[in-house]
């Protein structure tokens, strides 16, 4: 398969996946029971005329196929609809939520990648020794812990030293730019650490397994026979090929970064897209949930496409 054919095929598959996801995303929320109007119906003094007026305003009185065509038309313009909860554009609200979520989760993911790769390489290098058992056991331990439990344990042990709620100090009056950045970073420490501890175990285990497989290949034995040190053999010959499975895992993690860690943001009251998803479920705010799921789906598909391209660069054999 030629390079151009490979790129076209992977891109077309990604676009088709996004289209299918958009369709499922739309109809999924239309078959669920209840809506924003259902909640209003239980509010005291809510008249039937008000409910009918809101039904027309939200377009809920139209047939499903007509709602779907209107949804596609507005989606092409970048309009994700109006939130049922606060009557604000979903696009602008998601932009704000993403701006809060991405820095915190990106920091945690980068820490997890660095620590996971280092732990996995050292564990494979010291296979069968105390270092291997210790690092592998620690990775398994953190991999098995529930995310919310890790977050709550960090709150219990570090609440007296670090902020555990929100992303800024409400009592900080007219802060300078350095003070504001420092305050946000202090609030970011515990949720980012929770993300890092949640992800690092899977990275370490995958890298260790892949490294052990790679270290048994003939070209690694040849490198050792040439007189290269163990570390030089690992760094120059084994690590690059062992990173192939890691590329997929990192791509999937980066896709979920955009969607947010709902449990982390709920535990630490971080005003990001995960917290917005939780609030939207409680309020039955379907347009907001549609927007969140759409952003998550597109991010996962695009990062998987990026992983395919990186695979192509690291191992040209994928086109054979």
Instruction: Report the predicted TM-score, pTM, of the whole model to 2 decimal places.
Output: 0.77
Using one digit for the tens of pLDDT, what is the confidence trace for 56-77?
Answer: 656 666 777 777 887 788 777 7
Question: Around 304, how many Cα atoms within 13 Å sit in the side-chain half-sphere?
Answer: 16
pLDDT surpassing 60 at residue 52: yes
CA distances from 273 to 79, 147, 162, 265, 315 (A): 18, 17, 23, 8, 35
- Indicate if the pLDDT at residue 291 is higher than 70: yes
**Does position 204 have pLDDT exceeding 70, yes or no?**
yes
Q: Which residue has the higher pLDDT, 54 or 285?
A: 285
Residue 233, pLDDT > 80, answer no
**Distance in angstroms (rounded) separating the CA atoms of residues 102 and 164:** 18
Q: Which one is predicted more confidently, 162 or 308? A: 162
pLDDT at 51 over 80: no
Whether the per-residue pLDDT at 41 is higher than 60: the answer is no
What percent of the chain is modeled with pLDDT above 90?
6
Residue ranges of domains in the chain, CATH in brackets = 83-319 (1.10.3720.10)
pLDDT band at 191 (very low <50, low <70, confident <90, very high): very high
Torsion of CA 163, 164, 166, 169, to 10 degrees: -20
Mean pLDDT of 80-97: 82
């Amino acid at each position: 398969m030629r390079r151009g054919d490979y790129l076209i095929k992977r891109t077309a598959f990604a676009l088709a996946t996004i289209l299918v996801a958009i369709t499922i995303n739309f109809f999924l929320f239309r078959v669920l029971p209840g809506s924003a109007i259902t909640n209003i119906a239980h509010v005291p003094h809510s008249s039937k005329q008000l409910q009918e007026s809101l039904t027309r305003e939200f377009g809920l009185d139209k047939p499903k196929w007509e709602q779907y065509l209107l949804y596609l038309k507005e989606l092409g313009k970048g309009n994700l609809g109006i939130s049922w909860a606060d009557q604000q554009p979903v696009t602008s609200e998601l932009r704000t939520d993403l701006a809060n979520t991405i820095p915190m989760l990106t920091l945690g993911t980068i820490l997890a990648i660095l620590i996971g790769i280092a732990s996995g390489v050292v564990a494979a290098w010291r296979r069968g020794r105390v270092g291997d058992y210790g690092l592998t056991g620690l990775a398994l331990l953190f991999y098995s812990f529930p995310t919310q439990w890790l977050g709550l344990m960090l709150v219990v042990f570090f609440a007296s030293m670090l902020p555990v709620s929100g992303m800024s100090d409400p009592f900080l009056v007219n802060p300078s730019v350095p003070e504001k950045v420092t305050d946000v970073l202090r609030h970011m420490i515990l949720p980012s650490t929770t993300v890092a501890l949640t992800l690092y175990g899977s990275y370490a285990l995958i890298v260790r397994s892949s490294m052990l497989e790679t270290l048994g290949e003939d070209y690694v034995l040849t490198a050792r026979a040439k007189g290269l040190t163990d570390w030089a053999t690992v760094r120059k010959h084994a690590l690059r090929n062992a990173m192939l499975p890691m590329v997929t895992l990192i791509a999937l993690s980066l896709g979920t970064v955009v969607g947010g860690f709902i449990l982390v943001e709920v535990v630490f009251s971080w005003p990001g897209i995960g917290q917005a998803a939780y609030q939207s479920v409680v309020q039955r705010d379907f347009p907001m949930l549609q927007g969140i799921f759409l952003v998550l789906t597109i991010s996962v598909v695009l990062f998987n496409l990026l992983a395919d391209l990186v695979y192509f660069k690291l191992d040209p054999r994928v086109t054979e």
